[in-house]
Every structure is written in structure tokens, then in C-alpha cells.
Amino acid sequence: MTAMPPRLAILISFSGYGGVERMVLNLLQGFAEHDLSIDLLTIRRPTNLKDELPPTVRLLDLGVSHSMLAVPALVRYLRQNPSSGIIGR
């Protein structure tokens, strides 16, 4: 039986496309190179992000426009997708 790779959820609110977004993409690439399954949970997802993600990253839009509104969606996600860890920014 093959063990599933650890799943890591990363929650981020994008406000545009700049240094923070580039840093997150670099971080995702590094995690992907270490055989982690990554769920990128987004608030205000930029439209051009999907093309730049490593193929092992699952992009999930929480469907909210402000981080204060993300709590119910985040709770739903965590109940349905047990993660080894979560990182928020």
C-alpha cells in the first residue's frame, strides 16, 4: 500500500500581482518539489494564477471577497479535507 503524501493547505488573499504573489508561487514550487500535496485556498483569486501553479497544486477559490468572510468556507474545507498543516497569510 502506497502512503499518501502529506497534504498542506495554504490560505492567501491576493490583492493583485506583485512581490507577495511571486513569493507564494516560489514557495509552492518548493513544496511541490518535496512531494507535498498542496491545496491553495484563495480569497480574491487573481485570474492569471492558475497557469503558473505547479501541476501538483490544487487551486480552490473560497468564493468570498474578504478574509473576514472566509471562516465558514475554511471550516467547510477543513472538515472535508483533512490536512497535515495549514499556512495562512
**pLDDT higher than threshold 60 for residue 24:** yes
**C-alpha to C-alpha distances, 48 to 4, 45, 52, 86, nearest whole angstrom:** 29, 9, 8, 24
Residue for grid cell 518539489: 33
Please say whether the structural domain 7-88 has been given the CATH code 3.40.50.2000: yes
> Which pLDDT tens digit goes with each residue over 28-86?
888 888 878 899 988 876 667 778 888 889 988 888 888 888 889 988 988 888 766 77
The ranges assigned to domains in the chain are 7-88
